Structure 1
Amino acid sequence: MDHKRELTSVDLAALEGELAGYEGAKLDKAYLYPEDDLVRLKLRDFDRGRVEFLIEVGDVKRAHVADQSHVPDAPGRPPDFAMMLRNRLSGADLVRVEQFEFDRIIELEFDREDASTTIVAELFGDGNVAVLDEYGEVIDCLETVRLKSRTVAPGTPYEFPSARFNPMTVDYDGFVARIKESDADLVRTLATQLNFGGLYGEELCTRAGIDYNVAVDDLDESDFERLYELIDEMGTRLREGDVDPRVYYETLDDGDGAGNGESGDDPDRRRIDVTPIPLAEYEELYSESFTEFNPALDDYFFNFQREEEVEGGETQRPDFEAEIEKQQRIIQQQEQAIEDFEADAEVEREKAELLYANYDLVDDVLSTVQAARQDDVSWDDIEAKFDEGADRGIAAAEAVVSLDGSEGTVTLDIDGTRVTVDAFTGVEKNADELYKEAKRIEEKKEGALAAIENTREDLEAVKERREEWEADDGEDEADNDEAEDEPTDWLSMQSIPTRSTERWYEQFRWFHTSDGFLVIGGRDADDNEELVQKYLEGGDKFFHAQAHGGPVTVLKATGPSEPSKEVEFPQSSLDQAAQFAVSYSSVWKDGKFAGDVYMVDPDQVSKTPESGEYLEKGGFAVRGDRTYFEGTPAGVAVGITCDDETRVIGGPPAAIEGQAATSITVEPGQYAQNDIAKRLYREFKERFADETFVRKVASPDQIQEFLPPGGSRMTED
């Protein structure tokens, strides 16, 4: 018998009531384990203390509260998705837990003074977790979905699947009518048309004493009444929390092991299902009873994967190929979406340019409509006048395709392109709205680009796990567990696989603080301009050395696909951003070992100079009070990462040393950038047993990108 791997609609109906008891709990922290598609929400409840809520949407699909000892250790540096959850939800109250219709979807709504956020967990198909703002728009999601029937993508309204028939709330007449619509047998009808699934379809047949395979046409009134009564009773029990959860086991040997009350830890048994109520279908199986459904789910899902064995006692090989195919399919969808966004944005820009290129014609049409409406001429009469003008060969009238009085718009055909314009504004305003729409679509594209980066990371992670599985030397599980407890000694490995993904911020100087926040800085005046105009948002912090010739440095509060918001940055992140700002400024170039740095909010930075002054390219006016970091030491570490990605990183030593497999600290010194880069390269080659790996990921040119302008030397020298 196969293990249960996904929650059913009946499970979620039972779970909804129990989870409502956690409303009022505050979210403390959120985690993402990308390799398992697992989201972990750590909450604090007034009565219960710490509460761990798990949502898994990979090969296993579940959502439940877990025992503290059953949650995985916190992962390393949190991915962007986890950081977004923390930024939006830290300190927020859980105010609603609800199953969507009778579907395998559960919603968790959190409220905070500044925002409302809803997490939607889709426990069907490929699985997904979407995070919505108070308007129902997707902030981010684990998987981007673009189908004819629905879209789930950052920057778009979340679309639920078409509502499923809910047998728990339908009246008797609706129930009978639904069954009679089917041309299948009873069990298939209950499973598919009434959405109970195979197991509960069989359970209802057994309890009603009706053969599974009886044709729907052969049912009589008493059959319908018994079935409806059973379903109504089940629905009432689930809504009122009157559950009697069971974890069911199958016996692995020839013994019967049925319902004898012995411990479920018997090695000759394995867990195969968990249900909110006892099932007649499992009457012959051994089961353990629980007082609540959450602990039963936690017991089952925590243990079943460890019990999943094939003949001979070997752990089953994960279906890496299926997962790789899934990720590649998602990438194809995301690439197509990006192409569509680009094409759509270009169409909107072309429409705007057509309006300007045919300014007089469009203005003539708009002026005619506006004058007629001022004289109370009806929309139909206006349209008729344009038709008459078109018959006489008037160019402006010929361009009019249609008018929509309810919307106050005119649709024009200009050089074969149809453009709908607001009849009560001018040409410039209409063109400006089209440019804005193009920009809005391009912002969607940026969100899609960020999503595709995450998917490519997931794909590489699956490939890496496949390589590790295939390279396994067959040692027993205990030895493997012991080895996993030890950190990987990357320096001594003879062969290190390379894996990296290009990020949007790599065009600038960048690093991640020891707390996981992104810091970006300009390399030149053009970068400084772009950083302030495009990437400096509310909630961020702006840093600059108190010296001429320094990079604009931005400590980011949120990612590019997230709305801006205030974040309380740890002091360690602020100090590291300040050190970054001073280290890549003229302070280093001048051979100084420290300098002052100031910090301001984004709204204090402007491109508008004071009266009578001039701002050179890359320069900005900063107004208002500043926070100073006096005597900030200049110091940069360059390292090589091997865990999540293989690449060179560089920045303040306190941030880099914790993220790199090995790093080297430099200070102002006598060696030019290219010379010190070669010295660091030779040092890294000596540290790694796999010299080819260093050549691939840390060439002198790649190292030089992270070195400050001016002379440097290794602190070990």
Structure 2
Amino acid sequence: MAFDGIVISNLVFELNNEIMNGRINKIAQPETDELLLTIKGKNGQVRLLLSASASLPLIYMTDQNKPSPLSAPNFCMLLRKHIANGRIVSINQPGMERIINFEIEHFNELGDLCKKILIVEIMGKHSNIIFCDEDGLILDSIKHISANMSSVREVLPGRPYFIPDTMNKLNPLTITKDAFFQCVYTKALKTSKTLYTSFTGISPVIAEEICYRASIDSEKPAQSLDDNEKLHLYNHFQWALEIVKNEAFEPNIIYKENEPIEFSAIPLTQYNLYHTKQFKKISQVLEQYYAEKNIITRIRQKSSDLRKIVSTALDRSRKKYVLQEKQLRDTQKRDTFKLYGELINTYGYELDENASNFEALNYYTNEMIEIPLDPLLTPKENAKKYFDKYNKMKRTFEALTSLISDTKDEIYHLETISNSLEIALTEDDLIEIKEELMDSGYIRRKYSNKKIKTKSKPFHYISSDGFHIYVGKNNFQNDELTFKFASGNDWWFHAKGIPGSHVILKSNGNDIPDRTFEEAGKLAAYYSSARKNSKVEIDYSLKKNIKKPNGGKPGFVVYYTNYSLTIEPSINGISLSE
């Protein structure tokens, strides 16, 4: 996540356009390390979120309000005392640091015009919000950093404020070509690491992008670059900085299917295989990116218990399947024992007393075979012993064949539930999956666990040709879509032989274009357990050909008439309906 100097530059540009000369109407501190300023700007009232969270430091403008504690913290009270109704007269970024300085004019108790500086440092776990007077003396900070906590800098009231230079990085905005070449020549690190460790505000993502645009292997040591490669690298390095100097930002989020994986204030061509969504404002990027990431993270955390239950049940079923298969292989000699019994009955009159074996003609193959005998038993008793072994193994074979079929169905069912957990997006989705686990006996249903009517609905896509496509999120929805929602002439899609969602393409009696068939197939591939494969085989058929077997588990179907296609798993370019 590239919350780097370039993103900060974009934020400063945006804030200068929106809240410069604005007045601070309200100051709230919703969290211990977070401020929410309400500012009356030239375009009306806006809220500015400032977070110094160690795990998620942020700055962005938002329309959303947040509840505040009944009693305001001391830092919030200090800000209200000094800068409430103050006017923002300057918003700047020192160099390419991940720092924004807000200079605020206000009147003190005597009516004199004063200036204060609110400094927001976005530096990972070292992030902070620091309040200073105009001489740079710290009045207070949202986090106090003593000498015991940091040997580099104290952040305490009365201490002078300064930016620690712990890594001796250069300012990329003022670097000359000769200084750039000298820097590259002296670093034995890989090229991308040379860039982000040498220059302020350059993140690993931007360093990789510069190398990608310059057609240079980012893993190649910087010292090994020839003069042409260094010049090419420098030119593309300057390209990124020209965007900052000219304020020609292009805020965007990179999506891998429907999951955001990166954001930036400049185009990231290295992700050309993924989908890029453009935004007008970097604040919109930050708010949406972290909101979507937070949903995905929260759902994964909430589903961890269900995942563990499914994983444990799957391990147990797979071990049981391996054991049953081994026991089944042990019954493969049953027909041999039957043959031994038949041949002893046929040729037993020729046996010598106390014989331990004898050779007989196998009249099925016209070959001679040797049959072991128990010398203490009569031929009739030996034959009976082999027939008893045959019958026992036959019963075992028949029982195991049925048990193995049941175990395979159980494994497949659990794998479909595991796939449902992978595509779950909301808590309602998880409730339906938990309900299925309770119905199947994997979770004990308590008296308080009555069935809850959820708001979870299948995914609803619109094809490029305007046809409606529905995708089940779990087995309950799969059954509902296939056997209650779909009509006979609608089309049903499913990944061949592997767990996945039922996909229903509504035809409404119309002819379906090939492109729509392909898009429905892509959805079936993406919402299957093979979504990471490059290609997936898809079966599709008219819904009227799909049947539910008697006693079949949720989501189980049978069909004997179908078409097939092989396609890449993807949802890019297919519109998701709200």
Normalized against structure 2, the TM-score is what?
A: 0.48
Look at both structures and tell me which one has the larger radius of gyration over its CA atoms: 2
Normalized against structure 1, the TM-score is what?
A: 0.39
